């Protein structure tokens, strides 16, 4: 079915498969119910055996954990709940020994209100860091300077009596907005990046990058038209024209790329959401002097996986000079598990295989979220166990991010499924124990085995990892496309429905079958069938 990886002269990250690790929920090594860096190190062999190229570790930096690590109080240290810098160095060494690159999150739009930078900035209006954050005077009636709203609910402004001004925060009030327009702040953030590069990091995911700069004139956002969808937050009532996505983000991106180029083949990928995501992703990755890649929310929050969605999404990233290189994720720590969104419970085993085959066949980088290789489902966390501040604030109308952050099940017969010896910070899913790693290791027909085979297939066929993609069919249920690289041509056909469909007229179906799942043949497409044919 597979053969040895093909060597090319392309950079390691182009066409890479990246495995996202959410540290709190991967492996608890010190028995406190929370995952940690040593736990990651202990489980890296599992990740390497998947055949991925790199790991991406969500924030592990010093933090009060009000937004679980995305509120950073020290960019250059490890929070004690996760371990120490020495533990991180050991993780890097082990990953590199296993042939894995290591990428980490960087959060440059905001810090924690407990960061020393903010403590100094809020002290008065004349100190050396007075303009390191976004401060503004109140309106004459004492209200906030404009109508901007935070993602997590309520105004994007909080009053601070020490300065007699409001400070901006696009998320929690404990996440004050850094003034990234300030070149000195940019210098400080690049120093942070340099700190981790010197420790051996191979790349960075730049969190919420389009939130990093605002309109300096502080103009009001216009109202968003009512499209009939449910709006649970004031944030949803506005077009974010002035509160984010300032064009000056692009020159900062170029400074990031220049620094990374000084260290060699460093991978940079931006997370970009919002109404202008596609436009911004392309701007951030255009040419060879900006970021290497970007990914958005095209799939992460889609209510259904349809041929039209896939075709429209990949068509926006053609193989053209100057066009950026995309990355794709079907799941992550913020988005609901795909098998719980996109199919009926009884169809999950078949759907998960088709979905994995599709992700590995798309042009771009593939980002796997921990547990996706097991078919992990979304967990319905009861209100009394919720940790997610957004879900708590908007209960019950906002889907909790906690449901995708539950602990990894490693051992089917062990206490807490081998994640910890004590009650974990979030509960396991009721159906997750049967999906444990060791149970699937022993089953040659498991999704885990299939995932390993698909990753090996992708590495062995440059048309899959690097080639161009041409959509052939995208109708109500059938998706067919061709992947080509040099003299290799692969036909990829998928049935995205739970009923049999006819073989597409435009696909000949002749050639060597590289893989087929759920009963697919070169001419027959049962429910959730997937087949890849070398023509």
User: Residues 290, 426: one domain?
Assistant: yes
Confidence tier at 299 by pLDDT (50, 70, 90): very high
Contact 103, 201 (CB under 8 A): yes
How far apart CA 335 and CA 297 sit, in angstroms, is 9
pLDDT at 285 over 70: yes
- For residue 219, the domain's CATH number is 3.20.20.80
User: Residues 400, 520: one domain?
Assistant: no
State the virtual CA torsion across 169, 173, 175, 178 in degrees, nearest 10. 30
State how far Cα 380 lies from the chain centre.
Answer: 21
Tell me how many domains the chain contains.
2
In this structure, is residue 49 part of a structural domain? Answer: yes
- Catalytic one of 271, 331, 334, 390: 271
In this structure, is residue 144 part of a structural domain? Answer: no
Cβ contacts of 152 within 8 Å, gap of 6 or more:
171, 172, 233, 235, 389, 390, 393
pLDDT of residue 2: 45
Confidence tier at 225 by pLDDT (50, 70, 90): very high
Boundary (domain end) residue, out of 429, 458, 487 = 458
Tens digits of residue pLDDT in 442-464: 999 999 999 999 999 999 999 99
Concatenating the DSSP letter of every residue in 123-153 gives: T-SSSTTTTSB-EEPPPTTSS-SS--B-TTS
How far apart CA 253 and CA 268 sit, in angstroms, is 10
User: Residues 444, 484: one domain?
Assistant: no
> For 288-444, where are the E strands, in sequence order?
293-295, 325-329, 365-369
User: Residues 29, 96: one domain?
Assistant: yes
How far apart CA 399 and CA 254 sit, in angstroms, is 36
What is the widest separation between alpha-carbon atoms in the chain? 74
Better-scored residue on pLDDT, 320 or 96: 96
User: Residues 343, 474: one domain?
Assistant: no
User: Residues 454, 498: one domain?
Assistant: no
Concatenating the DSSP letter of every residue in 260-316 gives: HHHTSS-EEEEE--STTHHHHHHHHH-TTSS-SEEE-STTTT-SS--HHHHHHHHHT
In this structure, is residue 42 part of a structural domain? Answer: yes
User: Residues 330, 413: one domain?
Assistant: yes
User: Residues 483, 363: one domain?
Assistant: no
Confidence tier at 7 by pLDDT (50, 70, 90): low
pLDDT of residue 6: 60
| Region of poorest pLDDT, from 42-46, 60-64, 273-277 | 273-277
Boundary (domain end) residue, out of 428, 458, 488 = 458
User: Residues 410, 339: one domain?
Assistant: yes
User: Domain residues for 32?
Assistant: 17-109+182-458
- Supply the mean pLDDT for the chain: 95
Tens digits of residue pLDDT in 358-412: 999 999 999 999 999 999 999 999 999 999 888 888 787 777 899 999 999 999 9
Q: Is 207 a catalytic residue?
A: yes
Question: pLDDT above 90 covers what percent of the chain?
Answer: 89
- Catalytic one of 207, 331, 372, 373: 207
Where b means 16+ CB within 10 Å and e means fewer, 359-387 reads bbbbbbbbbbbbbbbbbbbbbebeeeebb
| Region of poorest pLDDT, from 174-188, 224-238, 361-375, 432-446 | 224-238
- For residue 471, the domain's CATH number is 2.60.40.1180
């Amino acid at each position: 079915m597979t053969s040895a990886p093909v060597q090319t002269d392309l950079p390691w990250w182009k066409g890479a498969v990246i495995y996202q690790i959410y540290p709190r929920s991967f492996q608890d090594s010190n028995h406190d119910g929370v995952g940690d860096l040593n736990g990651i190190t202990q489980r890296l062999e599992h990740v390497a055996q998947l055949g991925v190229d790199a790991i991406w570790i969500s924030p592990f930096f010093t933090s009060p954990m009000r937004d679980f690590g995305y509120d950073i109080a020290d960019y250059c240290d490890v929070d004690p709940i996760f371990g120490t810098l020495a533990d991180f160095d050991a993780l890097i060494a082990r990953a590199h020994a296993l042939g894995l690159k290591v990428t980490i999150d960087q959060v440059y739009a905001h810090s924690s209100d407990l960061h020393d930078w903010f403590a100094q900035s809020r002290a008065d209006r004349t100190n050396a860091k007075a303009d390191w954050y976004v401060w503004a005077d109140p309106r004459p009636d004492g209200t906030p300077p404009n109508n901007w709203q935070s993602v997590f609910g309520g105004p994007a402004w909080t009053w601070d009596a020490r300065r007699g001004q409001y400070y901006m925060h696009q998320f929690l009030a404990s996440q004050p907005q850094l003034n990234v327009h300030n070149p000195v702040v940019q210098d400080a953030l690049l120093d942070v990046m340099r700190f981790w590069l010197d420790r051996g990091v191979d790349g960075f995911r730049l969190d919420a990058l389009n939130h990093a700069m605002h309109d300096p004139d502080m103009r009001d956002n216009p109202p968003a038209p009512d499209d009939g969808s449910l709006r649970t937050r004031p944030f949803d009532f506005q077009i974010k024209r002035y509160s984010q996505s300032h064009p000056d983000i692009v020159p900062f991106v170029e400074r990031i790329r220049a620094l990374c180029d000084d260290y060699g083949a460093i991978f940079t990928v931006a997370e970009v959401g919002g109404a202008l995501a596609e436009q911004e992703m392309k701007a951030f990755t255009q040419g060879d002097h900006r970021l290497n890649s970007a990914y958005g929310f095209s799939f992460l929050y889609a209510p259904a996986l349809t041929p039209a969605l896939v075709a429209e999404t990949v068509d926006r990233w053609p193989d053209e000079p100057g066009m950026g290189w995309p990355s794709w994720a079907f799941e992550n720590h913020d988005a609901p598990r795909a098998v719980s969104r996109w199919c009926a419970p009884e169809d999950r085993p078949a759907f998960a295989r088709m979905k994995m085959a599709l992700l590995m066949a798309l042009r771009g980088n593939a980002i796997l979220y921990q547990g996706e290789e097991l078919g992990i489902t979304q967990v319905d966390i009861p209100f009394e166990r919720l940790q997610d501040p957004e879900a708590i604030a908007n209960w019950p109308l906002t889907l909790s991010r906690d449901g995708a952050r539950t602990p990894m099940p490693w051992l089917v017969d062990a206490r807490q499924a081998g994640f910890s010896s004590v009650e974990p910070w979030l509960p396991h899913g009721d159906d997750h124990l049967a999906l444990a790693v060791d149970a699937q290791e022993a089953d040659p027909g498991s999704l885990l085995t299939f995932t390993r085979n698909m990753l090996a297939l992708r590495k062995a066929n440059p048309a899959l990892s690097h080639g161009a993609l041409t959509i052939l069919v995208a109708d109500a249920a059938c998706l067919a496309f061709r992947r080509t690289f040099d003299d290799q041509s692969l036909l990829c056909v998928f049935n995205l429905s739970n009923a049999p469909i006819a073989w597409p007229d435009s696909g000949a179906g002749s050639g060597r079958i590289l893989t087929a799942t759920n009963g697919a043949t070169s001419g027959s497409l049962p429910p959730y069938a997937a087949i890849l044919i070398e023509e």
